[in-house]
Amino acid sequence: MARLPEITLPSHLKDRLAQGHPWVYRTHVPAQIKLPSGTWVRVSCGGWAGYGLWEADRPIAVRVFSTRQIPDAAWLHQQVRAAWDLRAPLRAAGCTAYRWIFGEGDRLPGLTADIYGDYVVLQVYMRGADELVGWLADALRATTPLRGIVLRERAADLDEPAAERDADEPAVIRRSALVWGSDPPKPLVVREHGVQFYADLHAGQKTGLFLDHRENRRFVEQLSHGRRVLNCFAYSGAFSLYALRGGASTVISCDIGKGLAEATAANLVLNGYDPARHSFVTADCFDLLERYANAGERFDLLVLDPPSFAKRKLNRFAALRAYTGLNALAMRCLVPGGLLASASCTSQVGPEAFKAMLAAAAAAAERECQIIHEAGQPIDHPVPAGFPEGRYLKFVVGRIMPR
């Protein structure tokens, strides 16, 4: 390989880079550097050096892949194998859908790979990564037998600054292309913790299923016995399925999305659950909660898993206001001692700020919130210790008491 372009960074970045942060922002790169996207570069800072991929016109100028060598196909295969081995407990538990490659968390920044049975869905979050996609597809196939690999491009991925997007937010799919093998069936059935789901690998949000809430769904199941449950922002009803299996007396799912009532009903039938214990309301969740709160409608357990309210750092304070209002409404819809399972998928609001928001929501609702459980990301969404931007998921369960 020809000598790589060299980029020298300001010395104050050394500790951050040495601690494993994989991003170099454009504001830290000399302005005279002009390279095409997809160029491998060597970046140095004091005694630290690393190898990364250059992107020409985004806030993140370089994503660092390695501090040991120039990445190549063999190196990438090693990372794919290491990620595969990390997820062995999921396979041992019979889980057939999980995130195999979680970008920066698996030393492959800007790339994700989700496995659904014998199929893999790739997503790319940077320009100039065509060579990487080829290497990655080869490495995936070499690691385990597969039937097909699909590349999905989200509308936001290549148009919106990556530094201002959440790590795992849903988005509109712009195009889907078969990279290798055969197209996945529509829909495909996958399983986690014994629950089955239909997944559409071409059109669904989050590559077909919200994989990061797997363990949180199981926790909700453990809380559900004999309870009346409301699941807001239900998508295709995953939390609802677990609540039903956990013995909830009734479950109401709510989402405004087109076709989600039908998707949830199909998942209920797939699992053999009694449809009489479940109903789906197609509505805006804010409006529904306000209507229930004012009408005195009360639940024993309420799940809130809204889409990101802060896709950009500038939206953080507006997001906190929205989260506060939403959670206050939810608290008003609970019986005394009822449980609120509240989630946030935005990296712009950290865990402590999220819990402070719950306290503010409780005050606004004239309630007290007693936190009984909190969780982050599961084993298939690992995060480097020095990369706080990768810790996007918060899941907090509180017991809501009257003042």
Q: Could you give the CA distance from residue 349 to residue 29 in angstroms, rounded to a whole number? A: 27
368, 359 in Cβ contact below 8 A?
A: no
Residue with tokens 């789901």, as numbered in its chain: 197
Catalytic residues: 345
Q: Which CA distances in Å does 387 have to 14, 50, 52, 104, 167?
A: 14, 16, 16, 8, 12
What tokens were used for 334?
């609970």
